[in-house]
Amino acid sequence: MAVLLGVDIGTSGTKTLAINEKGEILAEATSTYPCAHPKPLWSEQNPEDWWNATVATIRAVVKKAKLKATDVKGIGLSGQMHGSVFLDKKMQVIRPALLWNDQRTAAECDEIESRAGGRKKLIQMVANPALTGFTAPKILWLRNHEPKNFAKLDKVLLPKDDVRRRLTGELATDVSDASGMLLLDVKKRNWSKTLLSKLELDESLLAKCYESEEVTGKLTPEVAKLLGLSTDCVVVGGAGDCAANALGTGVVKTGSLSTSIGTSGIMFVHSDEMQFDPAGRLHTFCHAVHGKWHMMGVSLTGGGALQWFTQQVFHGLFKGKTSPFQQLADEAAQVPYGSEGLFFLPYLAGERTPHADPNARGSFVGLTLKHTRGHLTRSIMEGVTYAMRDSLTIIRDLGVPVNEIRASGGGSKNPLWRQIQADVFGQDVVTINAEQGPAFGVALLAAVGAGFYKNIEEACAATIRVVSKTPQNKKAAAYYDKGFPLYQQLYRSLKKDFEAIAALDS
């Protein structure tokens, strides 16, 4: 039996999935870890936690599926994008990693645009503007604020690539994940020597770039023994979690778009040719499909908003067998669409698309004595989906075809949230048979790298199919069409107040 593993190093935990070459799931395991917030809008993690979780989950699926060492032919890695692992010459971690939702680098983003000769020239170089979540501003932050640590710096790796280093001993990344560092020439699919020079950063800081299905190394003897695997097991380039999720939902051809509501909210559309938003509101990155690209909008707080609401506001108050989230969702399902005039701005960690505003704050607007907990919950779901419609609107305005919307992530598992997506987007939403998202996507990449498929398109066609459709409710869609411009106006009305709050808080 040939087995492939997909390992997804996420923000809240790591998930490992074992599949056979037909895409059938044999076992899965998850291990969680904390996220530190030393200051408001700062977000850090200890890379050692990722490694420990990777080891624990791989060993768990090997045990659950009763695998022999030689059964596992390949491993694909997915990971939270943009995070910065700073390593010294001895490959020791210098300080905790700054994550994708860390907002401390606003000044460094200004510095990057200035050094590049302006925002337009920067977008021409790397297809994207400088955003606080990206990796390049984090490197400059280290140089500007922790010069002693910067003096020790020898390599900067992304989260999944630090795990790769420990699996194989190789320093490598893939083009989809590297695109989010703001240092890649996205069109040429390699590091931008021009921008690196302007930022006075040496290319030697960065790992070698591979296409996502290419083999980057094999397990070292020590790690193979630790995991119960063989040194013949290959590790492929893998993908950033957004591109990996797109593979896991079969978004590998023109006209396909995936929505993913996990910690963040993602709108991801495939593109055969490189095209970018001249205003820099959408990201243009290399896809995990060889030689292809994608455009993506990101709302920094997607399902994380509901997680915050459940854990911070109602922690310990729910009892019974039903999960707190399900109890809240059941209450929200009793509330009419539109939450009776209650709006929620889901900017709990600032916002990326389309505002690129680290000072944005979460807000309930329109509260009355009539509103209940169910109204609050539903308005959170609607607010997150409105935020994702911001991205979808830009995609449509740029003329990118959207023939099918595939929903994934935690938001796709709840029927109410699926319906809200169909109604807010004004288009039917489908789900597919594979619910494991990024882990499944990179397991398929491992299947390609190990020789079971000639390319990822063939692997997806053989293993992924649509299993359900949620039609839009025409009346609800008409209501949301009227509510969406008001939702957008609320941000514009509060933008200067958000800035004042941030200044006061600092």
The owner of tokens 């210098």 is 94
pLDDT in tens, 97-145: 999 989 899 999 999 999 999 999 999 999 999 999 999 999 999 999 9
Q: Are 72 and 61 in contact (CB under 8 A)?
A: no
Same domain, 225 and 319: no
Is the CB of residue 133 less than 8 Å from the CB of residue 43? no
Mean pLDDT of 212-226: 98
Q: What are phi and psi of 433, to 5 degrees?
A: -70, -30
Residue numbering of the annotated binding site for substrate? 81-82
Angle, CA of 423, 489 and 256, to the nearest 5° = 40
Q: What percent of the chain has pLDDT over 70?
A: 100
pLDDT, tens digit, 9 for 90 and up, residues 397-431: 999 999 999 998 888 889 999 999 999 999 999 99
pLDDT bracket for residue 314 (50, 70, 90): confident
Tell me: pLDDT of 316 over 80: no
Q: Note the pLDDT of residue 99.
A: 97
Q: What integer pLDDT is reported at residue 278 of this predicted model? A: 87
Q: Can you give the pLDDT at residue 506?
A: 74
CA atoms within 13 A on the CB side of 255: 2
Q: Which two tokens stand for residue 282?
A: 């959408």
Domain hosting 328: range is 303-431+473-505
Domain count, the chain: 2
What confidence tens digit (pLDDT) does each residue in 371-386 have?
Answer: 999 999 999 999 999 9
pLDDT band of residue 244 (cuts 50, 70, 90) is very high
Q: What is the pLDDT of residue 345?
A: 98
Mean predicted confidence (pLDDT) in 41-53:
96
* Confidence category of residue 505, pLDDT binned at 50, 70, 90: confident
pLDDT digits (tens, 9 = 90+) for 79-100: 999 999 999 999 999 999 999 9
Percentage above 90 pLDDT, the chain: 87
Q: What is the pLDDT of residue 367?
A: 98
SS (H, E, C) 286-334: ECCCCCCEEEEEEECCCHHHHHHHHHHHCCCCCCCCCCHHHHHHHHHCC
Are 342 and 244 found together in one domain? no
User: Does residue 486 register a pLDDT over 90?
Assistant: yes
Strand residue runs (E) in 379-455: 404-409, 429-432
Cα–Cα dist 203/28, whole Å: 37
Note whether 307 and 240 are same-domain residues: no
Q: What's the mean pLDDT in 327-339?
A: 96
- Burial degree of 190 (CB within 10 A; 0-12, 13-18, 19+): middle
Q: Which of 207, 224, 249 is the last residue of a domain?
A: 249
- Residue 320 pLDDT class (50, 70, 90 cuts): confident
Question: Residue 276 — φ and ψ, nearest 5°?
Answer: -140, 160
Q: Compute the distance between CA of residue 133 and CA of residue 97 in angstroms, rounded to an integer.
A: 12
Residue 464 lies in a domain: no
- Domain end point (choices 249, 266, 291): 249
Binding positions:
81-82
Q: Same domain for 308 and 242?
A: no
pTM of the model: 0.87
Q: Which residue has the higher pLDDT, 436 or 482?
A: 482
The answer to whether position 453 is within a domain reads no
pLDDT tier at 162, thresholds 50, 70, 90: very high
Residue 409 inside a domain? The answer is yes
Task: Please give the Cα distance from 470 to 490 (Å, whole number).
Answer: 29
Mean pLDDT of the residues in the chain = 95
Q: What is the pLDDT of residue 279?
A: 87
CATH number of residue 32's parent domain: 3.30.420.40
27 domain residue, yes or no:
yes
Query: Who contacts 445 (Cβ-Cβ below 8 Å, separation ≥6)?
Result: 6, 76, 212, 213, 236, 237, 238, 239, 244, 247, 288, 456, 459
Report the sign of the C-alpha dihedral through residues 210, 297, 137, 109, in that order: positive
pLDDT at residue 437, rounded to an integer = 84
CB 78 within 8 A of CB 9: yes
Residue 216 has pLDDT above 90, yes or no: yes
Q: Taking 80 as the threshold, does the pLDDT of residue 324 lie above it?
A: yes
In a domain, 144, yes or no: yes
Q: Would you please indicate which residues are annotated as catalytic (active-site) residues?
A: 241
Report which of residues 316 and 19 the model is more confident about. Answer: 19
- The amino acid occupying position 354 is P
Asked if the structure places residue 97 within a domain, the reply is: yes
For residues 176-197, give the mean pLDDT. 98
The pLDDT confidence band at residue 276, using thresholds 50, 70 and 90, is confident
Q: Is the same domain home to 360 and 228?
A: no
Decide if pLDDT at 321 tops 80: no
Domain boundary among 181, 216, 249: 249
Domain assignment present for residue 8? The answer is: yes
In a domain, residue 241? The reply is yes
